[in-house]
Amino acid sequence: MEIQVEEKEGFYTVTPVGELDVYTVPLFRKVVLKLEGDRRHDIILDLTSLTFLDSSGIGSLIEVYQKVRSAEGNIAFVLDNPRILKLFRLVNLDRVFRIYPNLGKALQAVGVSSGYVDEKFFSDLT
């Protein structure tokens, strides 16, 4: 798994690419919890590049959510994969997490708007 981290107006977008499961959770925790340790409390978790998620991966997402919330930070999730959404529904996380279908909408929702390009909007025009 690869993890991409990008900062925009104080919000950190974290994008795990590949599988988030019992094998890769330690790396994911290390990266995200380091942001927390550095007091980067506002996080968007972009899960659109996840190809596999198991119960360990779900547990790590909950752990990050709890740490951000306990530090009174903001956290939002980007998710468009029906497979992963199905797993979220099974464990009722769709009722707890703020989930947006693309990064643009998530950034908008948390108040980061500069430099935002709605790629779907423009792709619909072509």
Residues that bind another protein (CB under 8 A): 21-23, 52, 54-56, 58-60, 62-63, 65-66, 82-83, 86-87, 89-92, 96
Q: Least Å distance between CB 77 and another protein?
A: 14
Closest CA relative to residue 16, chosen from 26, 35, 31, 3: 3
Q: How far apart are CA 105 and CA 52, in angstroms?
A: 23
Q: Least Å distance between CB 83 and another protein?
A: 6
Question: Quick check: 52 and 25 in contact, CB under 8 A?
Answer: no
| β-bridge pairing 2-8 and 11-20 | antiparallel
Q: 66 or 113: whose CB is closer to another protein?
A: 66
Q: 61 or 107: whose CB is closer to another protein?
A: 61
Residue tagged 């380091």 (tokens)? 34
Q: 1 or 103: whose CB is closer to another protein?
A: 1
Q: Least Å distance between CB 114 and another protein?
A: 33
Q: Hey, what are 33's tokens? A: 């919890």
Q: 57 or 104: whose CB is closer to another protein?
A: 57
Q: Least Å distance between CB 63 and another protein?
A: 5
Q: Hey, what are 91's tokens? A: 């464990």
